[in-house]
Structure 1
């Protein structure tokens, strides 16, 4: 029962990622080329399948393609940040602060979108070693640590540049009404020019394609790991199309759907990290690679903080 519970929530997290990125890619295609949202979802799904053909046999090719797409995203947001010429006051917004339930929702969405719990399972599978040689395992651990630090640093930098650019542009320009991606696109165009708006849309499209591919691939790994079963890639891709298309057909605003889906990712983080910390803290299981005490304390603290945000989001409607 515990295995089925963990598999079920991990699949929900992977599907939530796919939902967000399919919608994000569709919105980007709409902004760039005027493609309606439903056909945009289908196009994004088709291109992400082509990317997945590089994996798992072509794992390194897959990683290189994703790294290139990440650089495109980061480059787009860095361009906007430089073009916006932010003041020190704009950067002050990077310090955590909450102003009601909506800001907590946004904060949990940023945490979920950066950490992405389903990628914990995926990265574990990609770095899995078949040798029990402690020396080789130690080298693999150090290499994995470097990869994770680089990946999360790039992701964090992309988030920070996006926030700083938005704060600098819209606050300085006195621009209001930027609650949706369409409004942000038009606002950037009017305040910084068409190049900034197009850069924003291209970064959004690239993020949608890359993350959608990762989410689908992670779903395969999750099913293999928990259930020892696989389903055809096309079947999984089709299954994740249904919620995205259904939400758009139901009339939900795409940006709101994106925010809520990223908050779902935050709820999945404790389910991924708690078993991980339990296992890696057992010397009998890990040997010389067992967690150091400060690693375990830091992880438990992070889990507690994220869980507190999640509990607040669940309790706030009842308390309010």
Structure 2
């Protein structure tokens, strides 16, 4: 049952599907970060250039995402605080302000990618000029935020529904693309590269996997949503939340894999290298059918709209958490619309803007990932939900790899 403050009450020994369902939802909102329009550009490029070769990178990325998002969920459950709030309580005021500033910049870059993705989806589907598409996308993002007023649970259902739209869109595309099953299996489980360029592209795919705003957000979604009065109950809650994390990351990984598989089966097979989503849309229509192109556009639109609302929610969380300040969420949404509208008005290529937004995100990952591991490894903070030594060691290896790849991505971008 639900209490008046929207927290779920825990039964001593929850069993069965009915008692698992209240735990499902937070990871699906966080998972939107893994299927945002920035992923579209990277996966389409990887599939068209190297076929199924880099499919294993998505598989490895997904395994990393499961661990990182489970740590974020666990932090909220164990402490009743989100990551920005813990940073404020554990670090100096000056450090918290600096962390807040970088987090806001990261979220602006996130909004840029997602808002442009939604606008591009409308442009491709309905041939509406990009500026007007952007304005319509803005209205759509406000509508999704309005749904939050009906409760976080309602928003979770809406976001999950939009993720299902993306799943359906790429499921249809995979069916019509008729990929090579042996190629898919080989690419999924055989780590290899095809020259230095494939290594750099894989670095971009891996390095941009874990998004900073997903880490901040997930801890906030679990901090008071389901509460336990004892450490034993909190441990039980976390075990159920792991189901949520595994399901959400499995679906997000399947979507990303589908993007690469479709690109490989359609573009790579025909000797085409596609690095622009606009071109990808039209090539799907020519090489398969207009219907599959429409599916691609619908998926892009759904991913962009859902991601943009999630980015706005995260912005509100980091401001309250780091500096204990708050602005109206609709005012925040209005402010974050200005940069992508400006970019569209001055005629910047949307696909290039998506790539540049990923570069900005690369700056922020260490500022979220390192505190997360430090806090979840602290017995005083986490109690009996503290990381095991093996978990901590694996998390540091993953953090080192992700941060290193992001630095490589930054170096590659500025050198180019």
The TM-score with structure 2 as length reference comes to 0.71
SS of residue matched to 1:178: coil
Structure 2: distance between partners of 1:270 and 1:58: 32
8 Å contact kept, 2:203–2:408 = no
Q: Say if 1:317 and 1:68 are closer, same or farther in 2 by CA, change over 3 A.
A: closer
Q: Does 1:18 align with 2:116?
A: no
Alignment of 1:44-123 (within 5 A): 44-55=137-148, 58-87=151-180, 88-89=182-183, 92-93=186-187, 95=191, 97=193, 99-100=195-196, 104=200, 107-108=203-204, 111-112=207-208, 114-123=209-218
Structure 2 Cα separation of the partners of residues 210 and 4 of structure 1: 28
3-state DSSP of counterpart to 2:147: coil
Aligned Cα root-mean-square deviation (Å): 2.2
Q: 1:172 aligns with which of 266, 269, 278?
A: 269
* Separation in 2, partners of 1:107, 1:194: 33
Structure 1 residue 108, shift from structure 2 partner: 2.8
Q: Which residues of 2 match residues 168-317 of structure 1 at below 5 A?
A: 168-174=265-271, 176=272, 178-316=274-412
Per mean C-alpha deviation after superposition, the further-off stretch among 62-71 and 74-83 is 74-83
Number of equivalences? 318
Change (3 A) 1:69 1:264: same
Which deviates further from its counterpart, 202-211 or 87-96? 87-96
Distance 1:143 1:30 in 2: 41
SS in structure 1 of the partner of residue 148 of structure 2 = coil
Q: Deviations over 1:147-198 (max 9, x none)?
A: 1221111111100011011101112233x35221111011100111011000
Q: Helix, strand or coil: the match of 1:18?
A: helix
Q: Does the 8 Å CA contact 1:109/1:265 hold for their aligned counterparts?
A: no
1:128 and 2:216 are equivalent in the alignment? no
Larger displacement relative to structure 2 (115-124 or 297-306):
115-124
- Structure 2 residue 250 is the aligned partner of structure 1 residue 153: yes
User: Residues 110 and 81 (structure 1 numbering): CA distance in 2 closer, same or farther, change over 3 Å?
Assistant: farther
What's the secondary structure of 1:258's corresponding residue?
helix
Q: Offset of 1:233 from its aligned partner?
A: 1.6
Secondary structure, aligned partner of 1:291: coil
C-alpha distance 96-234 of structure 1, shift in aligned 2 (>3 A) = farther
Native 8 Å contact 2:212 2:361 kept in 1: yes
For residues 355 and 202 of structure 2, the distance between their equivalents in structure 1, rounded to whole angstroms, comes to 7
Structure 2 vs 1, CA of residues 277 and 98 (structure 1 numbering), >3 Å: closer, same or farther?
Answer: farther
Q: 1:271 to 1:99 in 2, by over 3 A?
A: farther
Query: Which 4+ stretches in 1 moved above 6 angstroms?
Result: 317-320
Q: Tell me by how many angstroms 1:287 deviates.
A: 1.5
For normalisation by structure 1, the TM-score amounts to 0.92
Q: Tell whether the 8 Å contact from 1:108 to 1:266 is kept in structure 2 after alignment.
A: no
Matched residue, 1:3: 96
Contact 2:359 2:410 in 1 (8 A): no
Question: 2:223 and 2:113 mapped to 1: Cα distance?
Answer: 28
Q: CA deviation at 1:27?
A: 0.8
Q: 1:90 to 1:260 in 2, by over 3 A?
A: farther
> By how many angstroms is 1:21 displaced?
1.0
CA contact (8 A) 2:203 2:406 kept: no
